[in-house]
């Protein structure tokens, strides 16, 4: 009897936010993981850093990095 009463007071813990779960994140209906999301902007960003290296790339690739971040945030990833 007491088990039933205490179970009414105990709330079930909420699931942590999962951007790959379409039920939690309608911005990502395909359930893409971060590694597979935004392949075009990711490829452009990575290509820029491979071309210029990390020192020059920080300056020359800034716009491509921002484009990739915007794409990822558009899919609901918190980065």
Task: Residue 57: name the closest of 65, 48, 66, 68 by CA.
Answer: 48
- Please check whether residue 60 is in contact with residue 73, taking contact to mean a CB–CB distance below 8 angstroms: no
**pLDDT surpassing 60 at residue 76:** yes
pLDDT in tens, 2-17: 555 555 566 666 789 8
CA 79 to chain centre: 6
Return the pLDDT at 14. 79
Return the pLDDT at 67. 98
48 labelled binding-site residue: no
Return the pLDDT at 61. 97
71 labelled binding-site residue: no
Q: Which long-range contacts (CB under 8 A, 24 or more apart) does 16-24 make?
A: 17/78, 19/75, 19/76, 19/77, 19/78
Percent of the chain with pLDDT over 90: 76
């Amino acid at each position: 009897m007491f088990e039933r009463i205490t179970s009414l007071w105990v709330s079930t813990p909420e699931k942590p936010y999962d951007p790959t779960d379409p039920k939690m994140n309608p911005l990502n209906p395909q359930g893409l993981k971060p590694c597979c999301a935004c392949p075009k902007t990711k490829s452009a960003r990575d290509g820029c850093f491979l071309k210029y290296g990390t020192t020059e790339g920080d300056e020359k690739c800034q716009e491509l990095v921002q484009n990739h971040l915007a794409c990822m945030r558009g899919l609901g990833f918190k980065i």
